[in-house]
Chain A
Amino acid sequence: MIRTPIFIQGAGSISPQKTWDKKILEEGFVAQQGNRWPCIEPPYSDWIDARAIRRMSRVLQRCNVAAQLAMNEATIDCPEAIVVGTAMGCLEDTWSFLSKMVQNGGERLSPTSFIHSTHNTMASHLALHFKCFGHNCTFVHRTISFENSLTDAILLLEEGAVSQVLVGGADEVTDISFDLLNQLGQIKQLESGENSPGFTDGQPGWIAGEGASFFVLGNRQTASSYARLVDVQTGAGYDPEEIASRIEEQMASLDPGKTLLLAGHNGNVGEDSITDQILSQSAPAFPVFRYKSLCGEYGTASGFALWLASHVLKQQIRPSTSGFEPLPSGELDHVVIFQQSGPHHAFIRLDRC
């Protein structure tokens, strides 16, 4: 429940799809290969000057450009507040400092990787870069980090503290983190060069994705606005039946013919069966698209889903990857983003504006 009108005034995303280039809306998404999907990177030096870029890790560069994309669309130079979600933070710098610390026994360590290893580096870098003196916060709660950030942004707008806020989510996969996840048995095992199995192979494991997605949320509907943000909810500790009844309540007022459900299936058969159970109880009539088939699994993948949802409503595009039922061709008025992961579930609703 959001008590004030909130609009997505701008959206920017760096992801395993070429989302930073608007041509993707005509050209469509590409099918991915392998079990690790890296971002398709924009030419960062076109966006960030050489002096600023020298200390920025890849994930910071992605945050910076995704934020600029969103702010350009919203035609603002500086947000009034900045809120960022990241499940794992700046991993490249974290591993770099940690490895050197262990190898050098604590001697001759570079301060820069330590400074940039802290989770709030993304939000504080953006504050410094855009000279934003306002509210600045970073949420680091696993798969609901991005939704937590949206909640904070919604509160700011509801409180009347700001008229617009930059909010985003970002995570990176690095060689070390991918290796650790692999060792932990979490990554889907594929033959090299094998096409990704469209998330329906019935096998355990998921595919590692990454990305940075940023949005300008504001209290006015502008020419650039994509959609109205109607609800964001998270919950922890509920069993599938309880989640299903919570979701059913949310879906009750929506027309299945005018609604798309973006679901957080990640291809891991065990987790997906829980999601399926919840959705078959709570939203059996609604068309479902598994958005992680485009961006892979990462802590703030729902940021990519919000980017996708924004374009589904504004440009009325229909995402597709092979292996899924076709999506409704009629006009869509609502998109619901749902994910269930471990003890958490999250729900975001957008309405066409």
Chain B
Amino acid sequence: MSELKEKLKQQIVDQLNLKDIKPEDIGDDTPLFVEGLGLDSIDALEMIVLLQQQYGIKMVSSEEGPKVFRSVNTMAAFIESQKGQN
């Protein structure tokens, strides 16, 4: 799980081209949107692409987004739960 989280942080930085943030700056529980990293709705869509590209997880609606992308912890948990389903 912690390996997954570290990988995720690097992938987030790459996918969103976060030039001013290093993966290690992102805490497992740091809010990714608004008050935390300050990401926005376009970033949420980019993260959906990230999940599809890197983990083969297809989200058909953006409604789950806010819950899944709250933090690296929630994203990792979501990825694990999807693995369980396959």
Contact = CB atoms under 8 A, between A and B. Distances in A.
Nearest to B15: A110
Interface string B1-42: 000000000000000111110000000000000000010001
Contacts of A51: 19-20, 38
A54 B49 contact: no
A108 B49 contact: yes
A111 B42 contact: yes
Interface in A100-137: 107-112, 115
A128 to B, nearest CB: 12
Contacts of B42: 55, 111-112, 115
A111 to B, nearest CB: 4
B53 interface: yes
A92 to B, nearest CB: 14
A53 interface: yes
Nearest to A115: B42
A55 B39 CA distance: 12
A50 interface: yes
Contacts of B20: 49-51
B52 A107 contact: yes
A111 B48 CA distance: 10
Nearest to A107: B52
A54 B46 contact: no
Contacts of A109: 49
B56 to A, nearest CB: 10
Contacts of B16: 54
A177 B16 CA distance: 26
Interface residues of B, number: 12
Given A54-B16, A54-B17, A55-B17, A108 B52 contact: yes
A264 B49 CA distance: 45
Given A51-B38, A55-B42, A115-B42, A110 B18 contact: no
A111 B49 contact: yes
Contacts of A112: 42, 46
A97 to B, nearest CB: 12
Nearest to A110: B49
Contact of B45 (A49, A53, A111): A111
A110 B52 contact: no
A49 B19 CA distance: 10
Interface in A66-118: 107-112, 115
B19 A108 contact: no
Contacts of B18: 54
A50 B38 CA distance: 13
Given A50-B20, A55-B17, A111 B46 contact: yes
A55 B46 CA distance: 11
B19 A54 contact: yes
Contact of B46 (A49, A50, A110): A110
A241 to B, nearest CB: 52
Interface string A236-256: 000000000000000000000
A50 B49 contact: no
Contacts of A54: 16-19
Interface of B: 16-20, 38, 42, 45-46, 49, 52-53
Given A50-B19, A54-B16, A107-B52, 17 more contacts: A49-B20, A50-B20, A51-B19, A51-B38, A53-B19, A54-B18, A54-B19, A55-B42, A108-B53, A109-B49, A110-B46, A111-B45, A111-B46, A111-B49, A112-B42, A112-B46, A115-B42
27 contacts: A49-B20, A50-B19, A50-B20, A51-B19, A51-B20, A51-B38, A53-B19, A54-B16, A54-B17, A54-B18, A54-B19, A55-B17, A55-B42, A107-B52, A108-B49, A108-B52, A108-B53, A109-B49, A110-B46, A110-B49, A111-B42, A111-B45, A111-B46, A111-B49, A112-B42, A112-B46, A115-B42
